[in-house]
Structure 1
Amino acid sequence: MSDSPDSKLCDALLQRYAQGKTTRANWDGAWSDVATFVLPRKRDTVAQPTNGIINGPARSQQRFDVTATDACRTMAAGLLSSLVPAGELWFRYSPRPGASNAVSKWLDDCTHRAATALTASNFYLAVHECLIDLSGFSIEGMFVEEGLAFEGKGDLLNFTQVPVGTFVIEEDAEQRVDTFFRTFFWTARQAVQKWGVNALGKEMREAFESKDPARQAQKFELVQAIFPRRPGDYRDGMVAADRRPVASVYIDVLGQHILENGGYYEMPVAVARLLREDNMIYGTGPSDEMMAEIRMLNMMRRDFLLAMELQVNPPWLGPNGNSWRPDNRPGGIIYWDTSNEHNKPERLRDTARLDFIDPAITDSRQIIRSGFFNDMFRLLSNPDVMKRDKTAYEVAQMVQEKLVLFHPMFARITRELLTPVLTRIFNVLLRRGAFLPPPVVDGEPLDYEINYVSKLALAIKVAQTNSVALMMQMLAGMVQFDPASAHVINWQKAAVGIARNHGVPAEWLRDEDEIAEIVRQQQQAAQMAQAEQAASAANQLAGAAQKLGPKGQDAAVKMLGG
C-alpha cells in the first residue's frame, strides 16, 4: 500500500473497523441465540456471510415453539402503533417558551410538512424493521438520507434499516453513538451507478469490464465509515462534502481503496439501544433477560411433542429374532407366528402424565409475553377488553404499572432514535427549501423542541397529570386548616403542563404576556365594577338621607357616632 493520505486513511479506518468487530464479539453470540429462537429470518445477516448472499427464511431444526417470535413481533407492532403511528401526527416541532406567534405558526407548518414527507417516504416500512431489531436484538440502526426528489424523481427522504450484525459503533464522552461503521456487499455495476467508473479500484474495475457473467455478478465487500471530523478539519456553513462536520468514507475492502471521501452536516444514522447497562454499548433488553425462559420453553415444548407422539404412536414390543413388520397404516394387517402366543407383538404403552406439562408451558409463555410488554400494548390498544373483568380504575393502575417499567426504554427510543431522526429531517428539509422561509424576528433565534404526542408518549405524560389531580383532592382538605396551602402549586404553569401532556398544540396555548394582559383587564374591570357599585351605594344613601329630613338626619348621625 502506498503512503498517500488516502491510503493511510483507508488503512487506519479498516483497522478501526476490525477493532470494533473484536469489541462486538461478545454480543455476536447473544445475537446468534436471538436469531435462532426469536428472529430466525435474521440468521444470515447476524452470521455475516462473507459473500453477501442471504439464503432467505431460516428453517431451524432447534425451534419447537414460536411464542418468543410472536411476542417480539407483537412488541414491535405495539411500538409502531403506539409510538409512531402511520397516518397520525405523533410529533411536533414546538417553539421554546417566549417565542413569537410568527415563529410558532412557522414551526407548526414545518411539523405538518415534515409529517407529509414522512408519510410519502419509506419511513414507516424502515422504522418497523428497526423496531423489530430493537425488540429482538435490543439495538437498531436507521440511515436517513436525502431522497431523489431533489433530483426530480422519487421522494424527499429515504430511510434504510441497517441490519444488526453488519455494523459496529463507538460512543462519545456522553455515551452517544457518534461513530458508525457498516459493511455491505455490492457488485461493480452497482458501484459504478453510485460513484462512476473512475472511482473504482483495480479489482472492481476488472469485474465491471469483464464479459464473464460470474465476474459481473461478483459481490465486493464495502465499508462505510461515519465519524465526526476533528476541529480544523471541517468548516461551518454550506461547504463541500469533504469539509462537513461528519465524515463519510466508502472503502473497497478487497482493493484497499477509498471510493468516496464525503460527509454530512449532521449525523445521518440513528442508533438506539433499548437499555444500556454498565459498559454494554450494544445494549440489552427483553431477549437477553428472557433467553433462559425461552430456551426452557423450547425444551418443554419439544419434550411435550415427543411424549404426545409416543402416546399416539407408541413403539412395538416383539419377540427377538422374528421377521414380522409392523404396519401402522389405518386398516393395516400385521402377520405373526400364531404357533406361539408369546410371539404376538404388542404396543409399549407410555404412562407419562402430559397434563402436568401443559400448565408449565402456559406459565412460561405468559412470562415471555409479559417480558416483551405484550400485555401493556394490549391495554393501550384496547383497554375496553380488560374492563370486562376489571374496573376502569384497576385497568388504569395496570397500565401505569407497566408504563413505569417501560419508561426507561421509551426514554432511550426517543433520545437515540426518534429525536436524531426528526432533527435530521428538519435540517434536510430546511436546507432543501421544503419549508416556508423562516420568519425574521429581530433578536429571536429559531430554536425549537420536539414534543411527542403519540398514544404511548401521552400515556406516560398522563402520570404527571394524575399526580396533580391527586394533589388537588388533598389540597381541598388542607385549605380548610391553612388557606395558604392553596398557593403551594403554581396553577398557571400546572395548567400549561397538563394541556401539553394531553397533546394540546402549543399554538393553541396563550403565552405568559397574553395571560398577564387578560388578568390585568379582568382586574381593571373588577375595580371599575367595584367603583360603580360604591358610587351607586353612595347615591342610594344620599337619597335616603334626603327623605329623612333634618331631624331624621340628626338622629342617624347620633346613631352612627358622628
Structure 2
Amino acid sequence: MDYIRTADALLEEMRSRSGEWDWLRRHIMPHTQADADQEENPAADNRRLHSTVACESLHVLAGAHLMYITPTGQQWFSLKSGREGNDKRSRYDEWFAKATEITHKALANSNFYTVIHQCFLDRCLTGTGCVFCDTLPDGSLNFTHIPTGTYAIAEGRNKIVDTLARLFKLTPHQAVEQFGADKLPQKIKDAWEDPKRRYTEKHQYLHLVIPRPGADFGHDLVNPLKMKWASVYLAWGSDKTVIQEGGYNEFPFLVTRFLRFGESPYGYAPGMNVKEEIKATLKLERVMDVLGEVAAFPRIMMLADQVGEIDMRAGGRTVVKQNAVSANMPREWATSGRYDVGKDRIEDKEEKIRQAYYVPMLQVISSVDRQMTATEVNAREGEKVLTFSPSMTLFVFDCNTLINRAFSVLFRQGKFPTADMPDELVVQDQGGSEDFEIKIPSVSYNGKISQAIERAQRNGGDYYIQNALAYTQATNDPSMLEIVDMRKYARFLYENSGAPMDCLLSEDKLQKLDEQRAAAAQQQTQLEAMQGAAKAGRDMAAAQQAAQS
C-alpha cells in the first residue's frame, strides 16, 4: 500500500475544513493551538479578537461533559454480557461487574480524565475531539490528546472512524528514543549528534493507522505486520520515509463528534450556529470601549489660537478671550452616544451564544432563589440532561471504540479474573493454535443522562409496586405482585444506585441461600408435622383416658 499518497490525500481533505476551525479558535479560545508554529506572542491588536462569553460558555459545556457523561470517581459505564436471554448471563454478571471495576480503576490510575477534558474542549470548540490510547513501558494505560487540525480521519461503512493520520513533532532525542537511530533520515541523525540541536530542534512526523486487508487472527504475540490495523510512522520532512511499521488489534483512537452534519466524518461545532453573533458582539464591544473612553475623556473643540492654552487637569483653569466666549469655545465635541442601547444589544447577542452552548440548561440548581423539593430537583436535573442527550448519544456511539481498546489491552495483560471467565469473550483460532481473538462485551453507560432515563424506569417500577401492594392488602390477592421478579428488580435498583458490586451476592451464593431456605422450610414443615402428630397422639390418649374414667 502507498502509505504516503494515502496520508497526503487524508490531510488534504482535512485542510479544507481547517479554515472554520481556525476561526473558532481565534474568536472563542485563541490559546488552543493546533500547531507549534503559530504565533506565541500575538500583537496587541490581535489580543481582543475572542469572545469571553463564548469562551466561558465553551468551558461550561465541556465541564458538563465531565459531569454528565464521564464523571470522575463514578462508574460511568458497565460491561455486560452480549448474549441476550442466555441462561449463563446471570452467572457471568459477577465477572462483568468485577471487570468493570478493574477497567475503571485502570482509567483512574492513568491520565485519562485529564486528557478527556482536553478532548471535550476540542469536541465543543471545533466539533471533533480525539484521544490516542496506548500503554506505557510498565503496561499501564496512557492517553494522548490529539488537537484538531493535526489529524485527518476516514470512516468505515458503519460510520465508525477506522482510519487516522496525525502529524506531530519530536526532538532528535525523542525520535531516537522512540524509533532508534538506524531508520531515521540523515539530517535527523546529524541533529541528534549535535548537542546544541539534540533537545531543541524539532522535526515533523506522521502516524498513519489504517485497516489492513486480510489481517491474521490472533493476539499481541502474532506478528504486528499482520494485525488488523496497520501502524506506520513516517518522517514527514522533505524526504518522506517510513521509519517504523507495526500494527494494532483494535483501533487505538477515540474520535468523537459533537454533532454529525452531512457526509463529512468531522463533527459540527455549536459555535458555528452563532458566528454572526460572536462577530457582532466583538464589534459592539469595540464600539462600546470607544464610547466609554470618550465619555471619560471627551473630545474638545477649540479655536486655532487656543492650542496649548487649554488646561485639561482636574481643577485646572483656562482663561479665554471674548471672541472665544462668543464662539462657545472650547467645548466638548462628538461625545454623544447611547451606551444603554449598545449594552442591551450586546446582552441579547451574548444570550444567544450561551443558548448555543446549552448554558441556560446547564446552570447549577443551587442558583435557584428558593428551596426545592426532591421531586423538583429530579425534574430539573432530568430537563438538563435530556436536553443534552443528543450529543451524549453520539459520544456513546463514538466512545465504544475507546472502551473496547482499553478492555482488550487489560484482557491480554491478564488483569481480569480467570475464574468463571465468560466463554463468549474468547474466540479460538480455527487452526487449533493458542492464538485467540477477543470478542468485545456490550457496554452500558451509567452517566447522569443514562441515570435520568433509568430513573424514569425506576419511578415506573416503584409506581407499579405501590399499586400492587395496595391491591394485595385490599383484596388479599397476590396476583399483581407475582408477575414481578422482585430479585431481578432489586438487582436493577442496586446496580443503578452506584453501590460497590463487591457487596452484591453472586448468583451461586443466592442459589445456595435459596437451597438453605428451602431446606429450612422443609425441616420446619417436618417439625410442625411431627409436633402435630405428637399433639394428636396426646389428645387421643387424653380422650381415651377420660372415656375409661
TM tier, shorter chain? 0.7 to 0.9
Matches within 5 A, 1:172-251: 172-209=156-193, 213=196, 217-231=200-214, 233-237=215-219, 238-251=221-234
Query: Shift in Å at residue 345 of structure 1?
Result: 1.1
Q: Is the 8 A contact 1:103 1:439 kept in 2?
A: no
Aligned match of 2:18 in 19, 25, 28? 28
Corresponding position: 1:269 with 2:269: no
Give 1:71 shift.
1.3
The residue that corresponds to 2:27 in the other structure is: 37
Aligned match of 1:72: 58
Aligned 8 A contact 2:235 2:242 in 1: yes
User: Would you say 1:501 and 2:496 are equivalent positions?
Assistant: yes
Counterpart in the other structure of 2:347? 362
Aligned to 1:398: 380
Where 2:389 maps in the other structure, the secondary structure is helix
**1:366-385 mapped onto 2 (5 Å cutoff):** 366-379=351-364, 383-385=365-367
Is the Cα contact below 8 Å between 1:95 and 1:103 reproduced in 2?
A: yes
Distance change (3 Å), C-alpha of 1:492 and 1:326: farther
Q: SS of the residue aligned with 1:178?
A: strand
Contact 2:385 2:448 in 1 (8 A): no
- Distance across 2 between alignment mates of 1:216 and 1:443: 50
The 3 A distance-change label for structure 1 pair 62 and 210 is same
Residue 280 (structure 1) aligned with residue 264 (structure 2): yes
Q: Is contact 2:227–2:247 with CA below 8 Å preserved after alignment?
A: yes
Unmatched tracts of structure 2, length 5 or more = 427-439, 545-549
Q: Return the offset for 1:215.
A: 9.6
- Structure 1: segments with no counterpart, 5+ residues: 1-8, 151-155, 550-562
- Among 101, 120, 126, the residue aligned to 1:131: 120
CA contact 2:112–2:143 (8 Å) conserved in 1:
yes
Aligned to 1:560: none
Deviation per residue, 1:451-508 (Å, 9 max, x gap): 4445554344323323434555677899999997777766654443333333345555
Structure 2 CA distance for partners of 1:459 and 1:132, relative to 1, 3 Å: same
Residue 162 in structure 1 maps to residue 146 in structure 2: yes
Change in Cα spacing, 1:465 to 1:325, as seen in structure 2 (3 Å) is farther
Residues 342-357 of structure 1: matches in 2 within 5 Å? 342=327, 344-348=329-333, 350-357=335-342
Quote the Cα distance in structure 2 between the aligned partners of 1:101 and 1:392: 34
Aligned position for 1:426: 407
Identity of aligned residues (%): 24
| 1:239 Cα offset (Å) | 1.5
State the one-letter code of the partner of 1:503: G
SS at match of 1:148: coil
How far has the Cα of 1:194 moved from its partner? Answer: 1.6
TM-score normalised per structure 1: 0.77
Structure 1 residues 64 and 210, CA gap change in structure 2 (3 angstroms): closer
Conserved 8 A contact 1:251-1:257: yes
Q: How does 1:291-306 map to 2 (within 5 A)?
A: 291-306=275-290
Shift of 1:527: 8.7
Q: Distance in 1 between matches of 2:6 and 2:165?
A: 9
**Kept after mapping to 2: 8 A contact 1:337/1:344:** no
Q: Which amino acid aligns with 1:465?
A: R
Q: How far apart in 2 are the matches of 1:206 and 1:531?
A: 92
Contact 1:337 1:343 in 2 (8 A): no
Q: For residues 528-561 of structure 1, what are the alpha-carbon distances to aligned partners after superposition, in whole Å with 9 as ceiling and x for unaligned?
A: 8789989999999999999999xxxxxxxxxxxx
Q: Which amino acid aligns with 1:420?
A: T
1:234 Cα deviation (Å)?
Answer: 3.6
Q: Distance in 2 between matches of 1:464 and 1:406?
A: 19
SS of residue matched to 1:426: helix
Given residue 251 of structure 1, which amino acid in structure 2 is its aligned partner? L
Once residues 478 and 303 of structure 1 are traced to their aligned partners in structure 2, the CA distance between those partners, rounded to angstroms, is: 71
Contact 2:284 2:342 in 1 (8 A): yes
Aligned residue among 40, 46, 49 for 1:63: 49
Structure 1 position 182, deviation (Å): 0.3
More displaced 10-residue stretch of structure 1: 62-71 or 470-479? 470-479
* Counterparts of 1:218 and 1:496, CA distance in 2: 59
Greater mean deviation of Cα atoms: 167-176 or 257-266: 257-266
Please give the secondary structure, in 2, of the residue aligned with 1:261.
strand
Amino acid at match of 1:29: G
Q: Indicate how the Cα distance of structure 1 residues 491 and 113 shifts in structure 2: closer, same or farther if over 3 A, else same.
A: closer
What amino acid is aligned across from residue 110 of structure 2 in structure 1? S
Alignment equivalent of 2:130, drawn from 141, 146, 154: 141
1:515-534 to 2 correspondences below 5 Å: none
Aligned match of 2:274 in 276, 281, 290? 290
Distance 1:163 1:372 in 2: 20
Change (3 A) 1:27 1:461: farther
Alpha carbon RMSD of aligned pairs, Å?
4.2
Q: Does the alignment pair 1:464 with 2:453?
A: no
1-side partners of 2:463 and 2:302: how far apart? 77
Alignment check: 8 A CA contact 2:102 2:416 kept? no
CA distance in 1, matches of 2:235, 2:309: 63
1:525–1:113: structure 2 CA closer, same or farther, 3 Å change rule?
closer
Verify the 8 A CA contact 1:67 1:365 in the aligned structure 2: yes
Classify 1:387/1:522 alpha carbon distance in 2 versus 1 (closer, same or farther; 3 Å).
farther
Q: Is the 8 A contact 2:28 2:51 kept in 1?
A: no
Cα deviation digits, residues 428-455 of structure 1 (max 9, x gap): 233334x266226695656744444455
Give the deviation of 1:222 after TM superposition: 1.4
The Cα shift of 1:158 comes to: 1.9
SS where residue 224 of structure 1 aligns? strand
Count residues in correspondence. Answer: 524
Return 484-493 or 110-119, whichever deviates more: 484-493
Question: Deviations along 1:257-306, whole A, 9 cap, x unmatched?
Answer: 11111112211111111221332321124222333333333333333333
